[in-house]
Structure 1
Amino acid sequence: MRKWTLAVLMAILLVSIPVASANASSLPPTFVSVVLDGKKIWFPDAQAYIDANQRTLVPVRFVAESLGAKVGWEGKSRTVPISRDGQDISLAIGSATAIVNGKQIELDTQAVMTGGRTFVPLRFVSEVLGAEVKWEGKTATVLIQTKELSEADTDEWGRLIRKTNLPKNAADYPYILADLPNEMYELAYPYSEPTDRRVTAKLYSNVPEFTKANIDIWMGRLKAFGGLWLNVDYRSIDDAWAQAVFATKMQNSNAELKYIRKYVDWVKSNKIQVAGYLEPEPSLIYKDGFGSYHMRVKFRLKFISFDKQERLIYDEWFPQNARFEKNVWYEGYSDIKMTTNVGGDWGSTLKVSPTASLFNNQTISKVE
Structure 2
Amino acid sequence: MIKKTIMAAIAVSVFAGGIMTSKVSAEPGKDLQIIPIIVNGQKVRFPDTEPYMNTDGRTMVPVRFVSEMLGAEVTWENSTQTAIIQYEGKTIRMPIGSKTVSVDGEDRELDTAAEKYDGRTMVPLRFVSEVLGSGVEWDGAAHSVKVTDAKYQTKVDSGEVKLDPWGREYSKTQDNNWIRLTDLEGVGFYKSFSSKSKSRVFIEWLGSAAHVRTGNVLASKIRSYYAVQLNVDYRTINEDDFIKAFMASASGNITKNELTKSQFENIIRKYVKWVKENKVIAKGYADPELSAVYETNRTTWIPTHFKFMIISANDSNQAFLDSWDVSFWSDPVKLKTGVWYDGYSNVRTDSNVASALWGEDHGLSDTENMFIKDSYFYNVEVK
Give me the TM-score of the superposition, normalised by structure 1.
Answer: 0.81
**1:179 aligned counterpart, secondary structure:** helix
CA distance in 2, matches of 1:277, 1:80: 27
For residues 104-132 of structure 1, the C-alpha deviation after alignment (integer angstroms, 9 at most, x for no partner) is 12112111222111212233234433310
Aligned equivalents of 1:77 and 1:266: distance in 2?
A: 46
2 CA distance for matches of 1:26 and 1:52? 7
Using CA pairs under 8 Å that are at least 6 residues apart, name the structure with larger relative contact order, 1 or 2. Answer: 2
Q: Tell me, in whole angstroms, the C-alpha distance in 2 between the residues paired with 1:158 and 1:26.
A: 29
- Structure 1 residue ranges (4+ consecutive) displaced by more than 6 angstroms after TM superposition: none
Note the residue ranges of structure 1 that are not aligned, 5 or more in a row.
Answer: 1-24, 191-196
Which residues in structure 2 correspond to 1:297-316 (within 5 Å)?
A: 297-315=304-322, 316=324
Counterpart secondary structure, 2:60: strand
**Letter of the aligned partner of 1:33 in structure 2?**
P
**Residues 101 and 53 from structure 1, CA distance in 2 versus in 1: closer, same or farther, beyond 3 angstroms?**
closer
1:185 aligns with 2:185: no
Residue of structure 2 equivalent to 1:245: 246
Whether the 8 Å CA contact 1:243–1:257 is kept in 2: the answer is no
Q: Which one has the bigger helix percentage? A: 2
Shift of 1:218: 1.5
2:33 aligned with 1:30: yes
The residue identity in structure 1 corresponding to 2:228 is L
The Cα of 1:286 is off from its aligned counterpart by 1.9
User: Which region of structure 1 is more displaced relative to structure 2, 105-114 or 219-228?
Assistant: 219-228
Pairing of 1:42-121 with structure 2 (within 5 A): 42-121=45-124
RMSD: 2.7
Query: CA separation in 2, counterparts of 1:213 and 1:257?
Result: 30
- Tell me the alpha carbon deviations over residues 37-63 of structure 1, each in whole angstroms, 9 at most, x when there is no partner: 111111111111123443221221111
Distance 2:310 2:62 in 1: 21
State the partner residue of 2:273. Answer: 265
Q: How far, CA to CA, are the matches of 2:296 and 2:73 in structure 1?
A: 47
Equivalent of 1:171 in 168, 176, 185: 176
Please identify, of 343-352 and 176-185, the stretch whose mean Cα deviation from structure 2 is larger: 343-352
Q: Using a 3 Å threshold, how does the CA distance of structure 1 residues 116 and 257 change in structure 2: closer, same or farther?
A: farther
Partner of residue 299, structure 2: 292
Matched letter for residue 271 of structure 1: K
* CA distance in 1: counterparts of 2:211 and 2:225, whole angstroms: 21
Distance in 2 between the 1:302 and 1:109 partners?
28
Aligned partners of 1:335, 1:204: CA distance in 2, in Å? 16
Provide the rounded CA distance (Å) in 1 between the counterparts of 2:365 and 2:29.
24
Aligned counterpart, 2:349: 338
Decide whether aligned partners of structure 1 residues 56 and 245 sit closer, same or farther in structure 2, where only a CA change above 3 A counts: farther
8 A Cα contact 2:317 2:334, kept in partner: no
CA contact (8 A) 1:70 1:82 kept: yes
In the alignment of these two chains, the number of paired residues is 331
Q: Which amino acid aligns with 1:311?
A: Q
CA distance in 2, matches of 1:81, 1:26: 27
Contact 1:28–1:228 at 8 Å: present in 2 too?
Answer: no
Q: Which of the numbers 137, 144, 149 marks the counterpart of 1:134?
A: 137
